[in-house]
Amino acid sequence: MKRILMMMLVLASMSVKVNAQWFIGGSAGLGYFSDRFQMDVRPFAGYEINDRWAVGLGVGLGMQKSDGFGVFDPFARFNCWNNGKFFVDVKGEAKVFVGGEWTCANIGFVPSLRFAINDHWQVAGDFGLFGIQDNDGDWSPALGFTTTTAEVSVIYKF
């Protein structure tokens, strides 16, 4: 019985390993937030757990007016639909912007479209936020497709 259980455990771990895949990439975001134009650049790394789920972390820098800020962006991505080339995803993220005298945060779900150029390269676009956002302690709903969260990403899958 122990041998059968051990064999099932080994086979299950091998099947997860076959579908799992590391990826790296970078995002560039432009927008208008809190009466200010902003842009940020954020490299990220992640792990595709299976065909549906991926998790990752992005860390980067940006500018808003003449102020620089840092960006911390952990995320989980769920693939809702794909045909092998086009992907419709929903990302759950908690993005934090930290500047000299201010902080902002976006927490919620982000609709995303991805296109696979080949087996390794993909491009993606994120087009909104459905959740809440903070501007120096003032939390407000963020519901819709806004330019404040629009960004383009390039992804390389190993």
pLDDT in tens, 31-46: 776 667 788 899 999 9
Domain presence at residue 94: yes
Residue 53 in domain: yes
Give the number of domains in the chain.
Answer: 1
**Pair 62, 38: CB distance under 8 Å:** yes
* pTM reported for the whole predicted model: 0.80
Ranges assigned E (strand) in the chain? 21-33, 36-48, 53-64, 67-82, 86-99, 103-116, 121-126, 129-135, 138-144, 151-157
| Structural domain includes residue 2 | no
Residue 5 belongs to some domain of the structure: no
Domain assignment of residue 13, yes or no:
no
Residue 146 falls inside a structural domain: yes
Q: Percent of the chain, pLDDT > 70?
A: 80
Q: Is residue 25 part of a domain?
A: yes
Query: CA-based angle 79:130:29, to the nearest 5?
Result: 80
Range of the domain at 30: 20-157
pLDDT tens track for 54-87: 999 999 999 877 788 899 999 999 999 999 899 9
pLDDT score of 15 more than 90: no
Residue 24: which CATH number? 2.40.160.20
Evaluate whether residue 9 is within a structural domain.
Answer: no
